[in-house]
Structure 1
């Protein structure tokens, strides 16, 4: 299990570097991307599958263990006396009704959280297919993502789309007092600005090592948010952050009295992953030579685009997030120490994750809250 958790962190950092290369705010869901691409790998054969397996897990056996890890993070426990957290997940294959589908793949899909097959009029009315998919994603994500697929993204030769959608809402075990929230300085590369900043003093898991301060904010249902605050410039600290270091940071915190201040924030980031995946060595799925015969006996399919969107809101009472990933296929021819003070008043990373499995629901960089 520890190896699988380390592999998951490797994927988190690889994707973070790919989608956050611009230097500003970023946010994506490793859970959503890994789910969608994991299903695509099961729909593929040969080089197309091998490239995805290499990115996601390194081996087919490890990919199976990664899928089990994601499954373990698909349910949350109920904490007696606390508001029940909400976690909704769907993995949907939207298919043209004349595209033949293999029973084996449909059985595979049924074993994933929210796995299902639904029909959409790709060939006869691509715009209607787009609207149908968007409406379903909007429902799963409580309308945080009302339009995952923008106009024109479903091409006339599109015949299917694998879509993962995720919604997560949980309260803090220790909410921030709203009357202590004030505008305070947040120091970023673009200068200092005033940001709504929450404050509280509480016993939290805390660590300081390898040039980072780590604070773990427990959430309801076995969720948690992990603040990773570098001692210096975030970009320089990120460059030296590998999976081994991140694993150490996540294992190190011990209960400490923490005087914590951190900004409220609301980020909404769309990522076009097609070119990012090519840069990471996943190119065969976009080729006319791709083999998707495990999905359909029709051999003339390849991936057109991979689109991802993530929304994350963090406030005094807790956090709310949504993410969706769409992979669209087209026809080829057809213990308590001294108190510490943590002032999150400069760029930082924040991970929202499932505490037991370590699966990261959201991986965000906050440069401008």
Structure 2
């Protein structure tokens, strides 16, 4: 399987490990808050495009990303109901955060995220992978509809926070991420609405309300966001007239009626003692959806064995087969708080106000990750697939202790009265004897 497919393939494949619910009811379009008080802050460094890195670096990055994706799945599979997320979006947001980490915090994040490249190679490699994923095939096939893949990153920082220029430069060069300054203590709700509006815009309005009330507080100092949007038509579309209501058996044995699509086509297929698998190619790009279907009664056991090695074994066994495929049509979204999972996976220090070290991010100490929130959306029908996801890493600061001092004005002193804005001294005096 090519490197280009891997990043999004893992997230899309997991969407089908657990089946769908009914389409969501329509929701009102979010109102975009006024941006009159937003001050964009951009590094003077240009975005690096094209980003040329050794192929070995790309392969090391992709292998690490896959390992993180499957590790995270093992911690999230205990969630009730449907599950859908983009490990690639989460990786991007956390890697931008990693750029501001230092010491043991950076070491813990690198281990959890399965980074094997040093930072000076890691960030350019991720930039190169982004560019590869979003570049259409050359030449494009005029007979197939083009796929859409949009990836965007942004920073939202406290207006008076002394962020380090090296941190901002790195994110500008490798993630095309500029910073917009907000005043979190003065208006946390307005900041939340502004960030949510950006996410909705970048995901074609598919991810709404990524940040819930209470996610942004007066302690927030920085929010690092990633948004990803994917839309592609099937290379071999399902015919709507072939869709019929059919039984879908839940894990508890209960049967429910859902719309079932049907296709008889030569597709990549594999099977083993405890699974069947198929790959459905998309038109206009080098993407596919891989469906992993555990044998009846083996779902939980199959989940537990889904390691990078097992997944690779399944993918390498796919071969062209005349396949009679029945697939449910579905639409749903899912929101996740990733703090507990990431702590359990080895990143606990990054969430610890007393131990986290993000001094490469800001000149002020005390920053730590308050939470990592993620939301995914997926719709699969006869025409193709639409998917979107967004991730926000919320950085907070504990109240810095005030300096302790004692002053007894029990001796002669000098005083002055000045205008703080212009720093003009209006009066000056001396008291030798009160």
Classify the TM-score, shorter chain: 0.7 to 0.9
| Alignment of 1:118 onto 2:180 | yes
CA distance in 2, matches of 1:112, 1:312: 28
TM-score (norm: length of structure 2): 0.73
CA distance in 2, matches of 1:215, 1:269: 24
Alignment map for 1:270-289 (pairs within 5 Å):
270-288=335-353, 289=355
Residue in 1 that maps onto 2:135: 75
| Alignment of 1:6 onto 2:71 | no
Residue in 1 that maps onto 2:430: none
Residue in 1 that maps onto 2:19: none
Residue in 2 that maps onto 1:353: none
CA distance in 2, matches of 1:86, 1:140: 12
State the secondary structure of the residue aligned to 2:347: coil
Alignment map for 1:1-369 (pairs within 5 Å):
1=56, 2-61=59-118, 63-64=122-123, 65=125, 68-77=128-137, 78-190=140-252, 191-209=254-272, 211-220=274-283, 221-232=285-296, 233-288=298-353, 289-334=355-400
CA distance in 2, matches of 1:100, 1:74: 33
Cα gap change, 1:79 to 1:20, in 2 (>3 Å)? farther
CA distance in 1, matches of 2:366, 2:320: 56
Higher fraction of strand: 1
**Number of positions where the alignment pairs a residue of Structure 1 with one of Structure 2:** 334
Cα gap change, 1:8 to 1:32, in 2 (>3 Å)? same
Following TM superposition, by how much is the alpha carbon of 1:145 offset from its aligned partner in structure 2, in angstroms? Answer: 1.1
TM-score (norm: length of structure 1): 0.86
Where in structure 1 are there 5+ consecutive unaligned residues?
335-369
CA distance in 1, matches of 2:291, 2:387: 16
Q: Which has the larger radius of gyration?
A: 2
Q: Is the 8 A contact 1:38 1:67 kept in 2?
A: no
Residue in 2 that maps onto 1:338: none
State the secondary structure of the residue aligned to 1:283: helix
Greater relative contact order (CA < 8 Å, ≥ 6 in sequence): 1
Q: Is the 8 A contact 1:148 1:324 kept in 2?
A: yes
Q: Is the 8 A contact 1:8 1:66 kept in 2?
A: no
CA distance in 2, matches of 1:192, 1:37: 40
Decide which moves more: 58-67 or 243-252: 58-67
Following TM superposition, by how much is the alpha carbon of 1:94 offset from its aligned partner in structure 2, in angstroms? Answer: 0.6
Following TM superposition, by how much is the alpha carbon of 1:157 offset from its aligned partner in structure 2, in angstroms? Answer: 1.3
The C-alpha deviation readout for 1:62-116, integer Å capped at 9, x for no partner, is 8555664455324343432222222111111111111122221112112344422
Q: Is the 8 A contact 1:41 1:49 kept in 2?
A: yes
- Supply the RMSD in Å over aligned alpha carbons: 1.8
Cα gap change, 1:31 to 1:75, in 2 (>3 Å)? farther
CA distance in 2, matches of 1:184, 1:31: 33
CA distance in 1, matches of 2:287, 2:330: 18
Cα gap change, 1:319 to 1:114, in 2 (>3 Å)? farther
The C-alpha deviation readout for 1:104-133, integer Å capped at 9, x for no partner, is 111211234442222222122111100100
Following TM superposition, by how much is the alpha carbon of 1:209 offset from its aligned partner in structure 2, in angstroms? Answer: 2.9
